Structure 1
Amino acid sequence: MTPRQRRITLVVGILAGVSLAGVLALNAFRDNVMFFFDPSQVAAGEAPIEKRFRLGGMVRPGTVDRRAGSLDMSFVVTDFKQDVKVVYSGVVPDLFRENQGVVAHGRLGRDGIFVADEILAKHDENYMPPEVARAIKEKHGGVMPVNPDHAGPPKT
Structure 2
Amino acid sequence: MECRKFEITLVSALDLKNVRRLGKMKVYARVSIGSGNPEAEKRTQTDRHGETNPAWNFTMKYTISESMIQHYNTMLVIKLYCKRKLGDRYIGEMHTPMKELFEFAKPLGGSCILSFPVQKGCVNSQGVIRLSCRFGEKVILDELLLAESLAADSEVHGPREVILICGN
RCO higher in structure (CA 8 A, sep ≥6) = 2
Q: TM-score, normalized by length of structure 1?
A: 0.26
Structure showing greater Rg: 1
Structure richer in strand, relative to its length: 2
Q: TM-score, normalized by length of structure 2?
A: 0.25
